[in-house]
Amino acid sequence: MRNLKELSNQDILVSPSLLAADFGRLAEEVKRIADAGADMLHLDVMDGIFVPNISFGIPVIASLRKISGLLFDTHLMIAHPARYAEAFAKAGADHLTFHLESGDPAEEVISAIRAAGCTVGISLKPATPAEAVFPYLDKVDMVLIMTVEPGFGGQKFMQDMMPKVRAVREEIRKRGLTVHVQVDGGIQEGNALLCRDSGSNILVAGTSVFRAPDAAEAIAGLKK
């Protein structure tokens, strides 16, 4: 199992979102993105309940695990993440991020993910304040700030989420923690610097990487 804790939270990391890939050529797409320099692969799991869309689930992740050595950064946009943590871990997920707004108590989900052997992330929807995640900062490895409403790829970046990113990063610094801060939604080279300067060190980028003429150039641009 690949370990998010081994990656520095001072470095800019890129996690391309599989949601923007060509689903008819997933194995090739994952290999292409790995060769292009992706630090991890972002897997958006949607159940059609927590968010109004359905993407893919455990069988797809298990299939991709057989052909990829990338760290699987799995974003559970589902109503009951605690129920499925073990199954996703067995399928090959290395890291599981769940939404604080899901139907399961946060402490219960964190325990289930830890028991399954994965690192833990908590995600906040745009309307959820930064302070909501503060009680859990010493229990998780990553905080994901959504910069679009979760559920669909290709949306416009919400710049007004940057104060939330700064607030979370400042609290992490204040406590001396080594927690990653990830942003997801509309991320591209034009706003990557703003995200970094606001305190994010992991950039989720779907369309701007998978659909770029040159994926390696796109990833390098985000890191630059």
From the list 22, 104, 184, 214, the catalytic residue is 184
13 Cβ partners below 8 Å, 6+ apart? Answer: 7, 39, 40, 180, 201, 202, 203
| Residue recorded with tokens 């992330």 | 121
The answer to whether 104 is a known catalytic residue is no
From the list 44, 73, 94, 141, the catalytic residue is 44
User: d(Cα 151, Cα 56) in Å, to the nearest integer?
Assistant: 12
Residues identified as active-site: 44, 184
